[in-house]
């Protein structure tokens, strides 16, 4: 697809980020280079795959991954735990919210417990946390 499609996708993703920050009570990363890199990656996937697949993960088959929905922005981890692997949706200091993550999650190990400044916002899929944790524990390490 052409440059117009990419420019349109970037604008669409920027608008999504703005609206999702309002909805979830988060902020875009304070380092604009971080935010812009993720926005560009999401826009690229929107153009090439038709969906804003998380650009911060490795996928053996991106087209197959899109079918699962797990890593479409805002990903399941963001909607369940309010945790953004990409650091796109963070607190005002630029840290990902880790308060709701399982104790042994890599986000908790890396950042410690980062409290949610707006617990009344976000986490639309919080009811899936127990099921998600059971699935995670069944996967081989």
> Which residues participate in catalysis according to the annotation?
56
- Nearest CA to 24 among 105, 120, 108? 120
Maximum Cα interatomic distance, the chain, rounded to a whole number of Å: 45
Phi-psi region at 46: left, alpha or beta (left = phi > 0; alpha = psi -120 to 50) = alpha
């Amino acid at each position: 697809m052409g440059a117009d499609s990419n420019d349109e996708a970037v604008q669409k993703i920027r608008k999504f980020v703005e609206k999702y920050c309002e909805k979830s009570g988060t902020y875009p990363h304070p380092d604009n280079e971080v935010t812009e890199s993720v926005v560009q990656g999401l826009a690229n996937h929107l153009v090439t795959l038709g969906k804003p697949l998380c650009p911060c993960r490795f996928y053996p088959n991106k087209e197959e991954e899109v079918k699962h929905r797990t890593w479409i922005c805002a990903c399941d981890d963001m909607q369940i735990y309010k945790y953004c692997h990409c650091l796109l949706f963070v607190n005002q200091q630029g840290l990902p919210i880790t308060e709701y993550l399982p104790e042994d999650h890599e986000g908790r190990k890396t950042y410690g417990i980062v409290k949610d400044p707006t617990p009344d916002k976000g986490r639309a899929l919080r009811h899936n946390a127990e099921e998600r944790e059971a699935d995670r524990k069944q996967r081989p390490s």
